[in-house]
Amino acid sequence: RAPSRDDLCHLVLEIFQSVGLPKELDEDIGRLKRFILAVRASMYDNPYHNWFHVFDVTQTLYVMATRTGLFGRLCPWKRLALLCAGLCHDLEHPGVTSLFLEKAGEHISSAFKDGVLEKHHAIRTFEVMVDREIGLLEGLSTKTYYDFRNAVSGCILATDFGCHKTFSTRLTEFLLPNSPPLPTQLEMELLIKCADISN
């Protein structure tokens, strides 16, 4: 039988736990469980942008970050950031494009100049995380919170296909002889783009 929505919740939790959680979450796994359930509840029943899609992207991201060795180069909070971005990159997706929303004059499109849906997904991700019944980020220092927020938001915003050419150009610069190593955040953003496009 095909896995159920509940089965996927358990698998997501296993993925998160397998990469090594920050000790604050490892000691209170209930916060992560509540977060995963809240994300599932926030996914609309669209034909494509649904709970199964975000699971696929998260699982693909997990495999890619493991195989490339990226997880080994990230601290626990950055590993969590990458997986949270995968899980939430289409949070509350209405099943239509940003362009459609803009042309239809939907209220969500008036709040942002571009990347309408991705900005909505990023904002809603943190609203879910800091909800007092979930408290995923409870007790973080200000610096850790903003580093984590920037990493997650950057990854979610990278899934905007309108930015694809910009990412291709940036990547090309790092393929030149004697170019510096790929910045970690860019590597995270490229992996989530690949995981999203492949699913």
Catalytic positions: 49
Distance CA 176, CA 66 (A): 25
In 3D space, the residue among 138, 24, 148 whose CA is nearest the CA of residue 82 turns out to be 148
Per DSSP, helices labelled H in the chain are 5-18, 23-26, 29-42, 51-67, 70-73, 76-88, 98-104, 107-110, 116-129, 142-158, 164-173, 184-197
Distance CA 15, CA 11 (A): 6
Distance CA 161, CA 149 (A): 21
Q: Is the dihedral of CA 127, 130, 132, 133 positive or negative?
A: positive
Contact between residue 29 and residue 78 where contact means Cβ atoms under 8 Å apart: no
Distance CA 132, CA 119 (A): 22
